[in-house]
Amino acid sequence: MAVDLSFFTSPMSEELRDEGRAEVLPIVAEAILMFLEQRGIDIPDDARERINSCDDPETMHHWLTRSATAPSAEAIFDQA
C-alpha cells in the first residue's frame, strides 16, 4: 500500500512550518535573554535587539546554547 506524502513537500506545509517557526522564535529569544539575565550578564540594547530580531532557527539554537557559558551577551554571537 502506497502512502501519499506529497503534503509534506507542498507549499502549504512549508507555510505551516514557517508559521510555527515564527511563533517559536520570540519564545527562544525570551529564553536567551532570561538566561543571560539570570546569570547576571548585562545585555546591551544592540545585543537585545539582535536577539529579538533574529529569524533563523539555527542561529537562535546556537545563541541559546552559547548563552549557558558565554562570559558576555556579545559572546553568544561568536561562531566558535
Q: What is the pLDDT of residues 18-69, one digit of tens each?
A: 555 667 889 999 999 999 999 999 999 999 999 999 988 899 999 999 999 9
> Three cell numbers at 62?
546556537
What pLDDT score was predicted for residue 54?
94
pTM above 0.75, yes or no: no
For 32, counting Cβ atoms within 10 Å of its Cβ (0-12 exposed, 13-18 middle, 19+ buried), the class is: buried
> Three cell numbers at 10?
507542498
- Number of neighbouring beta carbons within 10 Å of residue 57: 13
Instruction: Give the amino acid at 34.
Output: M
